[in-house]
Amino acid sequence: MSKIQDFTSILPPAWCPGCGNFGILNALKKALVELKIEPHQTLFVSDIGQAGKLPHYTRGNVFNSLHGRAIPSAIGAKIGNRMLHVIVSIGDGGAYGEGLNHLVHAMRRNHDITCLVHDNQVYGLTKGQASPTTDIGGVTKTTPYGAPPPINPLLLALAVDAGFVARGFSDDTTHLKDLIKAGVQYHGFSLIDILQPCVSFNHKNTHEWYGQRVYHLDGSVYQPSDKNAAFIKAQEWGDKIPIGILYRHERPIYEENLPVLDADEDLTTIVRSGKIDELITEFV
């Protein structure tokens, strides 16, 4: 059984003091321990930017990919070894800008990976430019006259019938831990959009700003199986912001449509097949 210490890295995080990433890291570690997952059973695939550094501050297998490309790298690795718990750590720039195409198709095909989007509504590592989720009118270094309307990732996910659509808040680590646990356990693609203050470059969407607005979707009243209700909740933004699982339903994962993966074969071991000779005969 794993302990928090097993997921503790010797490397000191290079994040700003007060960064929302600390909450995400703590919630992730706790979730994995509670799920009794060992570090070697996990694969963290990260994008770049501050979110991309997260895997270095815990322990597990790590593939730190290109900007926007963490999701395709994760897909390839998951197919390569289906026993791995594959968790993507990516920012709003990588998931909703540079790599949006990959996110959309990963949700559509339903690859069995968990995608944590560190959504701070700004580009942090490049120091304060507008991101795809910057609130409308947001003044940044690249939008001196105000940002255009943001993308709504949850609506987008619902539109492509993602099976697990959730939103968390980095300051509410217990709630976030439970979301991550549910996402990792979910059989299919789980999108968890995590509201996260950027203390250095986002002076609007602060700890206090989010803290005053977020509320938990109560399971007894709200039914995450109701897709129409989820569409309505996904559009709630402003004075009140819902966090929790907006939508969850089971559907076949990508791999289930591939006969090869039924065989449960270890694809890393190459077994010479006599059937190649038959292929050759087909050309004679």
Partner 1 sequence: MTNTINFMVGGEAGQGVQTIGYLLTKSLARYGYQVFSDQDYESRVRGGHNFFRVRASQSPVNAINENIDILIAFNLETIALHRHEVVTAGIIIYDSELIQNLQGSNLLNIPAERLVLEATGGKQTANTVLLAAALAICGYEFASFANLLEEFFGKESAEKNIKAADSAYKYVEARSIKKSQYRLKPIGNTNRMILNGNEAMALGAIAAGCKFMAAYPMTPVTPIMEYMAAKSKEFNMVVVPAEDEIAAINMVVGAGYAGIRAMTATSGGGFCLMVEGLGLAGMTETPIVVIEGQRPGPTIGLPTRQEQSDLQFVLHASHGEFPRMVLAPSTVEECFWSVEKAFNLADKYQLPVIVMTDHHLATSYNTVERFDLTRTNIDRGSINTSNMGEYQRHLFTENGISPRAFPGKSTALVVTDSDEHDENGHLTEDPAIRTRMTNKRLGKMALAQEDIQSPKLYGPEQPDMILVGWGSTFGAIREAVDILNNRGKKIAHLHFHEIWPFPKDTVKEILADCPEVFVVESNATGQLAQLIRQETCIQVNSNILRYDGRPMIPSDVIMALHEEVK
For residue 276, the tally of other CB atoms under 10 A from its CB is: 9
What token pair was written down for 232? 């309505």
**Total of chain residues touching partner 1, rule CB under 8 A:** 55
Minimum separation from the CB atom of position 261 to partner 1 (A): 7
Residue number with CB closer to partner 1 (35 or 62): 62
| Rounded Cα gap, residues 194 and 202, in angstroms | 15
Closest distance of CB 138 from partner 1, Å = 28
Among 69, 175, 187, 203, binds partner 1 (CB under 8 A): 69
Q: Do 84 and 78 form a contact (C-beta atoms < 8 A)?
A: yes
Q: How is the chain split among helix, strand and coil, in percent rounded to 5? A: 40, 15, 45
Is residue 284 close enough to count as binding partner 1 by CB under 8 A?
yes
Asked if 280 is part of the footprint of partner 1 (rule: CB under 8 A), the reply reads yes
Q: What is the spatial distance between Cα 172 and Cα 241, in angstroms, rounded to a whole number?
A: 13
Determine which residue in the list 19, 32, 84, 95 makes contact with partner 1, applying CB under 8 A: 84
| CA separation, residue 234 to residues 152, 153, 176, 226 (Å) | 8, 9, 18, 12
Q: How far is the CB of 140 from partner 1 (least distance, A)?
A: 25
Tokens of 117: 């989007």
Nearest approach in angstroms of CB 226 to partner 1 is 29
Between CA 73 and CA 123 the distance in angstroms is 22
What's the rounded Cα separation, in Å, for the pair 39 and 37? 7
Instruction: Check if the beta carbon of residue 114 is closer than 8 Å to that of residue 59.
Output: no
Tokens of 220: 């007894």
Decide whether 185 or 235 has the Cβ nearer to partner 1.
Answer: 185
**Please, what is the minimum distance in Å from the beta carbon of residue 98 to partner 1?**
10
> Which of residues 161 and 226 has its CB atom nearest to partner 1 in the complex?
161
Q: Contacting partner 1 (CB under 8 A), which of 74, 165, 166, 182?
A: 74
Among the listed ranges 100-108, 125-133, 173-181, 236-244, the one in contact with partner 1 (CB under 8 A) is 100-108
36 binding partner 1? (CB under 8 A): no
Q: Is 8 in the site for partner 1 (CB under 8 A)?
A: no
Tokens found for residue 171: 């300051």
Query: Which one of 13, 16, 35, 41 is in contact with partner 1 (CB under 8 A)?
Result: 41
- Residues composing the chain: 284
Q: Does 232 bind partner 1 (CB under 8 A)?
A: no
Measured distance CA(107)–CA(23) in Å, rounded: 26
| Among candidate residues 245, 242, 243, 241, the one with its CA nearest the CA of residue 226 | 245
| 160 scored as a contact of partner 1 (CB under 8 A) | no
Q: Does the footprint of partner 1 cover residue 1 (CB under 8 A)? A: no
The tokens describing 189, both together, are: 């693609």
The residues binding partner 1 (CB under 8 A) are: 11, 38-41, 43, 45, 48, 53, 55-56, 59-66, 69, 72-81, 83-84, 101-102, 104-105, 258-261, 263, 265, 267-268, 270-273, 275-277, 279-280, 283-284
